[in-house]
Amino acid sequence: MTWPQLSFVAEDPQGRIVGYILAKIDEETAEGQAPHGHVTSISVLRSYRRLGIAKKMMLQSQEAMASVYKVSYVSLHVRKSNRAALALYRDSLGFTVKDIEKKYYADGEDAYAMQLSLK
C-alpha cells in the first residue's frame, strides 16, 4: 500500500488476474547509499508464461521507480535454481549478479542478489 505506483497486475481478456509484480522503494540502505527500487515478488500463471507478461510488468515497474521516485537502480533476489527467471532478468532485462546470499530462502536455497542501473 505504500508504493502503489510500483505494483501491477496482468489480466486476461475475461478480466482474470494472470500475473502480478510487487515492488517497493528500499530506504534502509548502507550509509551514504541512495534509496533504490526493489522487486519483492513477481509471478505469472503457468499457462500464461513465455508471452512477455513478466518482462512487460518489470519494465512498467522500473519506469515508475525511475520517474516517480528518481531511483538510480533496482534490485531483486532470485533462487539460484530458477533458470527461467535468471534468463529474464540477466539476458532480457540486463540485470547483473552482485552477490550470492547463502540460505536466503526458508528451504535453505541460496539466492542471487541482482541489480540493474536505471540511469
CATH number for the domain harbouring residue 41: 3.40.630.30
Report which of 37, 34, 90 is spatially closest to residue 64, judged by C-alpha positions. Answer: 37
3-state helix, strand, coil in the chain (%, to 5): 30, 35, 35
Could you tell me the mean pLDDT of each successive run of 10 residues in the chain, 119 residues long? 90 96 84 83 95 96 94 95 94 96 96 94
* 3-state SS, residue 16: coil
**pLDDT in the model for residue 34:** 74
Give CA–CA dist 21/109, Å, rounded.
22
pTM, entire model? 0.89
Structural domain boundaries, residue 29: 4-117
Q: For the chain, what is the domain count?
A: 1
Q: Measured on CA atoms in the order 89, 91, 95, 101, is the torsion positive or negative?
A: positive
Neighbours of 119 (CB within 10 A): 6
